[in-house]
Amino acid sequence: MDPAIYEHIEAVRDTVIRFMQTEVAPVMEGYERRGEFPRALVRKAGEAGLYGAVFPETVGGSNMGYLAATVIQEEMARNDVRFSACNNQQGSTCPSCIYFGGTQEQIRKYVPDLLAGKTIGMMSLTEAGGGSDAAGAMQTFARRDGDVYRISGQKMFASIANETDVGVLFAKTERDAGARGITGFIVEPKKYPGWRAQPIDMLGLSNALRTNVLFLDDFVVPVENRLGEEGAGFKIAMRALQAGRVTVAGKALGIARACFEDAVRYANERSLRGQPIGHFQMIQSEIAEMATAIEATRALVYNAAQSMDNALPSNRIAAIAKYHASLSAKSCADKAMQIFGGYGLAKEYRVSWLKSYADLFFTGEGSANVQKILIAEDALGYKLADRHHGKTGLREVRKSGGQPG
């Protein structure tokens, strides 16, 4: 890495670590115990610039780029992955959908407050019929009624939908048109009736930042809150997910590092047969494999992020980075659990819940199999992953003249 970039990135890293240690660590357990969404902390994280790294200053971002955003996600996840569960809603999928698909007025009205943590975001695409086939599975329907749409249906895994002020939701406006029948909407659940979010009891995930089943019953969205034209929604969603993929890989890297650090500490502390278990060769083997996986993942993920910063074709490398990082997180979590023995299953030790988050990143935001399909189809020449190069990230949008949408 270029020494100047390295220095800048390490300064960003230090800022995040300081924020997580001074602001989040002292209070996060309390939020978890109370099952309370940490709204004040999100606001502080927004003020500290933790959500706006890939957005230009004109909309409240810092324009630091994808490598910085990836390192922010990495360090937030490494320090407390539970608090990082709303990062995408604040700094990636939700504001990206608005930035890519919205009018200048919509962007000005909603994006700066999301990045500042003043409003709480969410992005809901998935339905119960299958997240990997979001277009095929979508049943939720938005009916035009004069100056408003009335949306009815049920969304699945709508993270933070029980707290959101401003979100992006996708629904069908034409039932039988597949992906071309999907439209995006900017939603404001606190202003209109017909929105009920029911938190799901998830294994090992945060009690404060929840994912939900979302019930919509003639939920009202003014026509001026439609994102782009009717039928343009799926492309907007895919573009936003694609742009955020590398930062999700950063999060998985942070989980792998947290597991590694806890495992090393525990292997030095736990004594059996008169010596720390770190002296046992089979424990050393696990530690060596974790260290190797982390270094390989770091190189791959940072390379993919820099590729995006340089507006190079990045979809293939980002998919590889996300897939590999999620594998590393899963394997480091498994190894840490083994090293902790029975204590790894006690909630008191965070490896127990880091394992659940590792599993989540294996599935969420494009499952491992979906990434593998993209990688393999590219390799076999069936469908090039970077065929849409030039429309991927915010950096590319800005380089091409700064006109989103």
Q: Which positions lie near ligand FAD, rule CB under 6 A?
A: 123-126, 130-132, 157-159, 202, 205, 211, 360, 363-365, 367-370, 373
**Nearer to ligand FAD among residue 125 and residue 255 (C-beta):** 125
**Nearer to ligand FAD among residue 239 and residue 298 (C-beta):** 239
3-state secondary structure of 124: strand
Kindly report the CA angle at 125 between 58 and 220, in degrees rounded to 5?
A: 80
Residues forming beta bridges with residue 151, ordered by sequence position:
142, 219
**Nearer to ligand FAD among residue 303 and residue 363 (C-beta):** 363
Q: How far is the CB of 251 from ligand FAD (least distance, A)?
A: 12
Q: How far is the CB of 157 from ligand FAD (least distance, A)?
A: 3
Task: Look up 365 and say whether it is catalytic.
Answer: yes
* Amino acid present at 289: E
In contact, 296 and 256? CB cutoff 8 Å: no
3-state secondary structure of 272: strand
Q: How far is the CB of 119 from ligand FAD (least distance, A)?
A: 16
Q: Which helix (H) or strand (E) holds 185?
A: strand 182-187
How far apart (Å, rounded) are the C-alpha atoms in residues 233 and 239? 10
The two tokens of residue 127 are: 């339905």
3-state secondary structure of 356: helix
- Looking at 224, 348, 365, 377, which residue is catalytic? 365
For 33, other C-beta atoms within 10 Å of its C-beta total: 10
**Nearer to ligand FAD among residue 38 and residue 278 (C-beta):** 38
How far apart (Å, rounded) are the C-alpha atoms in residues 167 and 61? 18
* Length of the chain as a residue count: 405
* DSSP structure class, residue 349: S
The two tokens of residue 214 are: 């979302």
The two tokens of residue 358 are: 């590792």
What lies within 8 Å, CB to CB, of 281 at 6+ separation is none
**Nearer to ligand FAD among residue 123 and residue 259 (C-beta):** 123
**Cα maximum dimension of the chain:** 77
Q: How far is the CB of 97 from ligand FAD (least distance, A)?
A: 11
Q: How far is the CB of 164 from ligand FAD (least distance, A)?
A: 10
The residue of the chain with the least Cβ separation from ligand FAD equals: 131
How far apart (Å, rounded) are the C-alpha atoms in residues 386 and 380? 14
Q: How far is the CB of 113 from ligand FAD (least distance, A)?
A: 19
**Nearer to ligand FAD among residue 82 and residue 257 (C-beta):** 82
So which residues are the catalytic ones?
365
